[in-house]
Structure 1
């Protein structure tokens, strides 16, 4: 068993299932999320599946998703 830490190689997270949005496109512009055994959420860039994974608590992900749904980040995309 591994001890998950922020910035660890996503390739070390072998027991998790990565999910991405249906809105993702085939060119690989995808952010993927995975639930870890301890309840944390890992985030990675699909273009670099062995790259670093950022770890967040469920409360942090919930706050981000609520903000995204409320349009708080709309000015950052075209």
Structure 2
């Protein structure tokens, strides 16, 4: 896929999911699973903006670290 085709795919074909903890202003990260098994991530306020793509292992490491409190110091 070329750049425009991939952008259209991200906008139209992926099923994006926000956290249930998303605030009413829409300040949240959205995630979608790609057909390759990778995970796409975007800012919900800018659905036409950049999309980052991570492997399942990278997302598992991040979520595990978040559950373990590894990033809690950044929230105070």
TM, length-normalised to structure 1:
0.84
Match of 2:69 in 1: 71
1:1-78 pair list within 5 angstroms: 2=1, 9=7, 11-13=8-10, 14-78=12-76
Runs in 1 of length 4+ with deviation above 6 angstroms?
Answer: none
| Higher RCO (CA-CA < 8 Å; seq separation 6+) | 1
d(CA) in 2 for partners of 1:70 and 1:3? 39
Structure number with the higher strand fraction is 1
Name stretches of at least 5 consecutive residues in structure 2 with no aligned partner. Answer: none
CA shift for structure 1 position 3 = 6.2
d(CA) in 1 for partners of 2:71 and 2:2? 32
TM, length-normalised to structure 2:
0.86
d(CA) in 1 for partners of 2:66 and 2:9? 29
Larger CA Rg, structure 1 vs 2? 2
Give me the CA root mean square deviation.
1.8
Name stretches of at least 5 consecutive residues in structure 1 with no aligned partner. Answer: none
Q: How many residues align?
A: 73
Structure number with the higher helix fraction is 2
